[in-house]
Amino acid sequence: MTQAPDSDLPQGAVLRSVERWRGGAGRQLDDAIAEEVPVAFVYNDAPFAVMMATPADLEDFARGFALSEGIVEHPDDVAIERIEHLLEGIEIRLRIPDARAEALAARRRSMSGRSGCGVCGSELLEAALRVPPPVAADVRIAVHALQRALRQLRDSQSINALTGATHAAGWAAADGSLLLVREDIGRHNALDKLIGALHGTGQALDAGFLVVTSRASYEMAMKAASAGIALMAAISAPTALAISLAQRANLTLIGFARDDGHAVYTHAQRLLPESAPSPSAAPRPGRSSTP
**Catalytic annotation on 117?**
yes
- Beta-carbon contacts of 242 under 8 Å, excluding residues fewer than 6 positions away, are 216, 217, 218, 220, 221, 253
Pairing assessment for the beta strands 261-266 and 25-34 based on DSSP bridges = unpaired
Burial of 139 (0-12, 13-18, 19+ CB in 10 A): buried
Q: Tell me the C-alpha distance between 126 and 48, whole Å.
A: 19
- Please name which of 168, 276, 174, 158 lies closest in space to residue 220, comparing C-alpha atoms: 168
- Beta-carbon contacts of 99 under 8 Å, excluding residues fewer than 6 positions away, are none
- Please name which of 17, 14, 12 lies closest in space to residue 1, comparing C-alpha atoms: 17
Q: Which of 37, 80, 117, 128 is catalytic?
A: 117
Question: Are 272 and 140 in contact, with CB atoms under 8 Å apart?
Answer: yes
- Please name which of 69, 57, 94 lies closest in space to residue 201, comparing C-alpha atoms: 57
Q: Tell me the C-alpha distance between 97 and 79, whole Å.
A: 10
Question: Are 153 and 181 in contact, with CB atoms under 8 Å apart?
Answer: yes
Q: Indicate which residues carry an active-site annotation.
A: 117
